[in-house]
Structure 1
């Protein structure tokens, strides 16, 4: 599935009609969620049928395209299914009980195969549902002429702080070819450096939020001084939202480019996954965020986003991405295998058994790679793509196994 995005250019009246469609979609989603709460045991198809009941009870809700109402019901069911799945997996802590959506700057309405039309030059989109938002000019770098209209399965209108965007979801697999490099790499993420690999190379942590914190605080103070429900308050909210949006885009751009570079330069990428009790790295990160001294820095690092893009590019380029459990990757010595207890403040690994001295994150990255190679060689991997090298043994073909390392002076 490919997602192309373009910015919509229209009039103020057109934007207001898009807001009405977004509010209606949110109302349908919340109504389906309430219907599920009042009638436990109903499934996805009952929620989809309930959309017709909503259209009869509320004439203004009928203005929204019927498939858009069904898409809103599917969003409600997605939240319900995620809650059921977390309960079945016995995930610790909050299971994510579905909540009602409230107004927020970033919101959207989703259409399927009706309710919209594209012009012949694929530069203008017209919304044809009851809200009659009209035609919008699209600004973007993607060319839709390479794809057929029947490949467009979803059209999503997203409202952000800096305007309105349209997203096209295309039924098209993305596969790219690459030459094998014969290189395997293990990654250990951190706060001093964004990650340290098994070769000792480091990437600096950009700290986008920290760098913009002064400007964000200034905009927040200006917002606090405005009067409630005034035009100046709306303008201040918009300026603050735009700044937060810029920080999030900087963070995502860094993660995407770095993940693509890592995957293209390696035939196997090993990284830390959540323990078996957590199942997902997202939950592991959420537990780490409970440390209030490091919460802001951990959230700013965006480890989960980086991991998701590594897995995605692994599928695109056919590269194996292996997740290993994090237990004792920092404590075990990568040279002799003995456990060396150390606190979080100790940034250097000094083994009293073999006198091996190495950076703590570098030591963890080597252990992560060794665990990944053993997993691939013996029990199969959680790889996102195909392996280009022969990994029948614990080390890849053409690369000698690691021997004893000399202590670093």
Structure 2
């Protein structure tokens, strides 16, 4: 699957119609969750039952009937995903909270399937044909959607972001592979001082994007509280604040995308740490720095480009890789503040390079499990997969590549 994203240009009434469609989607999803909660235990509330319930909602509420029928089904599918995730966590005996479905308050997208929209045959325009009144809008972007057959477009999603409205097309197409420029074997140790250090001694600088933008973000946040509640100036201040955070998020994704592509393009084998970032950010002293360096983004893009360049990627448990000597195997205890590894046999390396060598050695010593992402997507909200865990999706490759 390939996702193409365009910014929408329309009129104020069209934006209001998109907002109404998004709110209707949230209403259907929440009503489906309530229907599941109120049903008796012996009742089998599955996807078919919830789709039938969305049909009943269309008969009961006029504003629901105005939304395309397949868009209503997409809304109930979001409830199905939340319910299935909860049951899966219970059956898998995942520790902690099991993710009991909750009502949504900040939905920002509406998703159409194969009906409810039509593309202009020659220009980058799309018309939404349901009764919400969105009508024809212009698509701004460099990708040419008209080169793909209409039958290959499986989903059309309207997304509201801090800087405007976007239209995303999920297209069923084969991912084209590319040739590598080298066949190196490399181990990667991610960190906070550097984005990653590899077993060859290369250090990728950490851009620290949030820290650089933090002064501007805090200033924008203070401006919000200086405006009176309910006034237009406060709404504009909130939008400026949100746009600054959105810019940092996009910069993080772009940086992770670029360095992951470079690593996979030059390597036949990439070994990285199998980290549980969700648990690591519970350390409040390091949480902001960990989120800023975006280890999760980097790992997902590694898995995507591994498919594109036919690179084998392996996740390794990083236990003791920082304490063990990569040369002689001796254990050299050191704190986080100690940045140089020195063993009694004369091996002296930068701490992260030593860990990267250990990570690569572990993969060579045993057969690691490949972590290739065969779909070629960092996160998926497409047909047959999780529909709404991520809606802020962009095209899977950088415009500059």
Q: Does the TM-score normalized on the shorter chain lie above 0.5?
A: yes
* 2:317 paired residue number: 325
Q: Is this contact kept in 1: 2:180–2:309, CA < 8 A?
A: no
Counterpart in the other structure of 1:299: 291
Kindly indicate whether residue 254 of structure 2 is the aligned counterpart of residue 253 of structure 1: yes
Aligned to 1:67: 70
Q: How much has 1:287 moved relative to structure 2?
A: 1.3
* Counterpart for residue 326 of structure 2: 334
SS of 2:8 mapped into structure 1? strand
Match of 1:289 among 267, 281, 292: 281
Corresponding residue of 2:140: 139
Secondary structure (helix, strand or coil) at the match of 2:366 reads: helix
* 1:38-187 aligned within 5 A: 38-39=38-39, 40=41, 41-103=44-106, 107-179=108-180, 181-187=182-188
Deviations 1:110-164 (A, max 9, x none): 0000000100114100011110211001011111232100000000000011110
> Which residues in structure 2 correspond to 1:170-249 (within 5 Å)?
170-179=171-180, 181-249=182-250
Q: Distance in 1 between matches of 2:123 and 2:314?
A: 40
Counterparts of 1:245 and 1:384, CA distance in 2: 26
CA distance in structure 2 between the aligned counterparts of 1:235 and 1:61, rounded to whole angstroms: 30
Corresponding residue number in structure 1 for 2:269? 268
- SS at 2:155 equivalent: strand
Kept in 1: contact 2:3–2:169 (CA 8 A):
yes
Specify the alignment match of 1:37 in structure 2. 37
> Which structure exhibits the higher relative contact order, with contacts defined as CA atoms closer than 8 Å and separated by 6 or more residues?
2
1:352-378, Cα deviation, whole Å (9 max, x unpaired): 3x23221111111111111222333xx
1:347 CA displacement: 1.7
Where 2:229 maps in the other structure, the secondary structure is coil
CA distance in 2, matches of 1:320, 1:90: 31
* Range that drifts further, 77-86 or 254-263: 77-86
Distance in 1 between the 2:14 and 2:369 partners?
54
- Is 1:346 paired with 2:335? no
Shift in Å at residue 32 of structure 1? 1.2
TM-score (norm 1): 0.87
Who is 1:391 aligned against?
none
Tell me the equivalent position of 1:356. Answer: 347
SS at match of 1:337: coil
Displacement after TM superposition at 1:180 (Å): 6.1
Q: Where in structure 2 are there 5+ consecutive unaligned residues? A: 375-401
Structure 1 unmatched ranges of 5 or more: 275-283, 386-409
**In 1, Cα distance between equivalents of 2:90 and 2:220:** 41
Q: State the match for 2:378 in structure 1.
A: none
The answer to whether the 8 A contact 1:119-1:125 is kept is yes
